[in-house]
């Protein structure tokens, strides 16, 4: 069994992503956006080497690279937002995810005829069709751009006209940032402060940070200037954390809301969050879902994943008792490495 984990580790180390360590150069190089949107609006830090850890039944099965280093997580950040949405549901701050955001949030971002109909579920599932400009970035920058791994690319860059909320799936960073705004207003506090108090793994904020776009995304809230953090590093900002933070997030989902003896959220809230999106069944609640093995055929169907470019991945598999974090892996290596880890874990649990 250990030899299989070692083989996956070696494969991950050999398949480090081709990006330079200077991530500002990646953003500005037009890798994400053409001009004028290849801009850095929030903090950007250099990346470390390939790193990762695999935990099964609470034991470390393999680890490699600088796991203690806090690195940008890109869209893995979105799955942290999903956890905070589940917390809002638990606390009764919203009645259910199908409630319109405008029923709780009196902000101009959700004030017009279209955006008043957007629900929490729409934002969590990337089906909101929210329209507008937020923090200087229009929703159209991401339109038909970042498609699901199961798609063939035929929708890419079609600039599809806006549809009715809930009727079209469109992976869109500006809309996730609108959810960050809504959750901040809902909690009445910055989202990093909520996360820091949710679980002991996040209590030491000197080891991680979650950023927005500075003054561009700062609003007055309860007598203070509060920065709205964002859902990834597309234009800088987002979560910057170490492997153990990502393992804690995964552990919360593995344990049905409980990790290391600490209850973060209820199983019911997580179940409501992780409902597959009817328009995109491999996605739900800002997590990627492997129901019926449609996303990764070599992984068990109960797998859920947080994924960001880089590639950065948190894989959670309840049937194997497994949480794995992989950072800075070539995109084409993600499926083979996860498949090798699944084979090793399945033999270990047999």
Same-domain pairing of 130 and 148: yes
Same-domain pairing of 39 and 126: no
Reported for 219-226, long-range contacts at CB under 8 A and 24+ positions apart, including other chains, are 219/181, 221/184, 221/185, 221/188, 222/188, 226/184, 226/189, 226/190
Query: pLDDT tens digits, residue range 29-65?
Result: 988 888 999 999 999 999 999 999 999 999 999 999 9
Residues 6+ positions from 334 with CB-CB distance below 8 Å: 311, 313, 326
User: Does residue 184 surpass a pLDDT of 70?
Assistant: yes
Q: Give the mean model confidence (pLDDT) for residues 250-262.
A: 96
What pLDDT band is residue 4 in, cutting at 50, 70 and 90? Answer: confident
Q: Is residue 256 part of a domain?
A: yes
Ramachandran class of 285: left when φ > 0, alpha when ψ lies in -120 to 50, beta otherwise: left
Q: Is residue 93 part of a domain?
A: yes
Q: Is residue 155 part of a domain?
A: yes
Structural domains of the chain, count: 2
Same-domain pairing of 247 and 108: no
Tell me the longest C-alpha to C-alpha distance in the chain.
59
Same-domain pairing of 40 and 163: no
Q: Torsions phi, psi of 91, nearest 5?
A: -80, 0
12 within 8 A of 329, measured Cβ to Cβ: yes
Q: Give the mean model confidence (pLDDT) for residues 304-322.
A: 97
**Quick one: CA dihedral 327, 331, 333, 338, positive or negative?**
positive
DSSP assigned state of 233? S
Same-domain pairing of 153 and 101: yes
Beta strands at 262-263 and 258-259: parallel, antiparallel or unpaired: antiparallel
Rounded Cα distance between 160 and 142, Å, is: 11
Same-domain pairing of 83 and 178: yes
Query: pLDDT tens digits, residue range 187-206?
Result: 999 999 999 999 999 999 99
Same-domain pairing of 85 and 154: yes
| 3-state secondary structure labels for all residues of 275-333 | CCECCECCEECCEEECHHHCCCCCCCCCCEEEEECCCEEEEEEHHHCEEEEEECECHHH
The percentage of the chain sitting over the pLDDT mark of 70, rounded to a whole number, equals: 99
pLDDT of residue 349: 58
Q: Is residue 232 part of a domain?
A: no
Q: Is residue 267 part of a domain?
A: no
Query: pLDDT tens digits, residue range 57-95?
Result: 999 999 999 999 999 999 999 999 999 999 999 999 999
Same-domain pairing of 194 and 165: yes
Average per-residue pLDDT in the chain? 95
Cα dihedral 338, 342, 348, 349 in deg (nearest 10): 140
Kindly give the residue spans of alpha helices, DSSP state H, lying in 188-308: 191-198, 243-254, 267-273
Query: pLDDT tens digits, residue range 101-141?
Result: 999 999 999 999 999 999 999 999 999 999 999 999 999 99
Rounded Cα distance between 38 and 24, Å, is: 10
Parent domain of 199: 77-227
Give the chain's end-to-end CA distance (angstroms, integer).
11
225 within 8 A of 218, measured Cβ to Cβ: yes
Q: Is residue 235 part of a domain?
A: no
Element spanning 219, H or E: strand 218-221
**Which residue has tokens 């690195």?**
71
Rounded Cα distance between 342 and 350, Å, is: 12
What pLDDT band is residue 169 in, cutting at 50, 70 and 90? Answer: very high
Q: Give the mean model confidence (pLDDT) for residues 3-28.
A: 94
Pick the closest to residue 290 from 320, 327, 262 (CA basis): 320
Same-domain pairing of 220 and 127: yes
pLDDT of residue 87: 98
Q: Is residue 47 part of a domain?
A: yes
Q: How much is the pTM?
A: 0.97
Same-domain pairing of 24 and 101: no
Same-domain pairing of 113 and 61: no
- Could you give the 3-state DSSP secondary structure of residue 104? coil
DSSP assigned state of 94? S
**Sheet order of strands, 71-72 included:** 71-72, 238-241, 209-211
Assigned token pair, 338? 């996860």
Q: Is residue 233 part of a domain?
A: no
Same-domain pairing of 67 and 81: no
């Amino acid at each position: 069994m250990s030899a299989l984990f070692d083989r996956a580790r070696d494969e991950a180390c050999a398949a480090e992503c081709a990006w330079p360590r200077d991530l500002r150069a990646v953003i500005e190089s037009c890798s994400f956006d053409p001009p004028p949107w290849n801009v850095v609006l929030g903090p950007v830090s250099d990346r470390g080497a390939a790193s990762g850890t695999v935990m099964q039944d609470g034991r470390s099965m393999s680890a490699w690279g600088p796991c203690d280093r806090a690195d940008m997580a890109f869209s893995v950040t979105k799955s942290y937002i999903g956890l905070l949405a589940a917390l809002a549901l638990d606390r009764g701050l919203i009645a259910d995810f199908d409630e319109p955001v405008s029923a709780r949030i009196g902000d101009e971002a959700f004030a017009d005829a279209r955006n008043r109909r957007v629900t929490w579920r729409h934002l969590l599932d990337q089906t909101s069709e929210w329209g507008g400009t937020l923090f200087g970035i229009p929703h159209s920058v991401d339109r038909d751009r970042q498609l699901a791994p199961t798609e063939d690319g035929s929708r890419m860059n079609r600039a599809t006209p806006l549809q009715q909320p809930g009727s079209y799936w469109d992976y869109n960073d500006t809309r996730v940032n609108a959810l960050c705004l809504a959750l901040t207003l809902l909690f009445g506090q910055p989202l990093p402060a909520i996360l820091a108090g949710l679980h002991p793994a996040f209590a030491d904020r000197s080891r991680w940070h979650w950023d927005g776009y500075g003054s561009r995304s700062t609003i007055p809230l309860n007598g203070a200037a509060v920065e709205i953090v964002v859902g990834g590093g597309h234009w800088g900002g987002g979560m910057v954390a170490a492997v153990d933070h990502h393992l804690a997030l995964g552990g919360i989902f593995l344990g049905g809301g409980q990790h290391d003896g600490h209850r973060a959220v209820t199983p019911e809230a997580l179940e409501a969050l992780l409902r597959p999106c009817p328009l995109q069944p491999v996605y739900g609640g800002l997590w990627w879902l492997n129901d019926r093995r449609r996303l990764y055929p070599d992984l068990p169907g109960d797998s859920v994943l947080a994924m960001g470019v880089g590639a950065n991945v948190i894989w959670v598999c309840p049937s194997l008792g497994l949480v794995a974090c992989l950072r800075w892996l070539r995109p084409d290596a993600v499926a083979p490495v996860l498949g090798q880890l699944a084979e090793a874990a399945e033999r270990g649990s047999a």
